[in-house]
């Protein structure tokens, strides 16, 4: 077994819980019986149900992509919490840990974007109120320019 789902793995669970970023831990066996949790039982059951559904869906998605592959790990982030789910044949270990808020990558300044544009392509514009590229408008402009060039030919 790859992770701590049995009572015999209490040292492993203690090591994980001792990490200052770990907020909650739930371990349950292949039958869904909660083996270890750091939260109240009602909330642990709620999380377990959600994680089982998520794991089931993720396993199906992996099998669709490659029937010979199998799901080993799920990791996702929401509002400063990272959820790590490690499903296995014998059971599942789920950890919720505190993480720094996600800082999305910043867009390059317009001047830099303008330098890398092809000569005949319309410039990429940045929506000032949202700070992202207005892709749809640029696609429409590119199609319009292409049609005009074809008509002139």
Provide the CATH number for the domain around residue 38. 3.30.450.30
**What is the reported pLDDT for 138?**
57
> E strands, the chain, where?
22-29, 34-37, 74-78, 81-87, 91-98, 126-127, 132-133
Neighbours of 5 (CB within 10 A): 24
**What is the reported pLDDT for 111?**
73
**What is the reported pLDDT for 94?**
95
**What is the reported pLDDT for 118?**
60
**What is the reported pLDDT for 130?**
47
The whole model's pTM is what? 0.60
Identify the domain containing residue 86 by its residue range: 10-98
Is residue 127 assigned to a domain? no
Distant-in-sequence, close-in-space partners of 24: CB < 8 Å, separation ≥ 6: 37, 38, 39, 47, 95, 96
Is residue 43 assigned to a domain? yes
**What is the reported pLDDT for 149?**
77
Residues of the chain falling short of pLDDT 70: 1-8, 101-105, 113-143, 153
Give how many domains the chain has, as a whole number: 1
Q: Which helix (H) or strand (E) holds 44?
A: helix 41-65
- Region of residue 149 (phi > 0: left; psi between -120 and 50: alpha; otherwise: beta): alpha
């Amino acid at each position: 077994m790859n992770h701590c789902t049995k009572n015999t793995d209490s040292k492993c669970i203690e090591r994980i819980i001792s990490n200052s970023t770990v907020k909650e831990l739930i371990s349950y066996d292949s039958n869904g019986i909660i083996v270890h949790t750091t939260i109240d039982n009602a909330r642990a059951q709620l999380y377990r149900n959600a994680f089982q559904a998520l794991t089931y869906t993720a396993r199906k998605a992996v099998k669709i992509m490659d029937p010979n592959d199998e799901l080993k790990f799920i990791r996702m982030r929401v509002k400063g919490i990272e959820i790590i789910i490690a499903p296995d044949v014998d059971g599942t270990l789920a950890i919720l840990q505190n993480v720094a808020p996600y800082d999305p990558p910043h867009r390059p300044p317009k001047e830099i974007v303008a330098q890398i544009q092809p000569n005949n392509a319309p410039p990429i514009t940045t929506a000032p109120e949202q700070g992202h590229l207005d892709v749809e408008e640029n696609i429409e402009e590119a199609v319009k320019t292409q049609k005009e060039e074809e008509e002139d030919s």
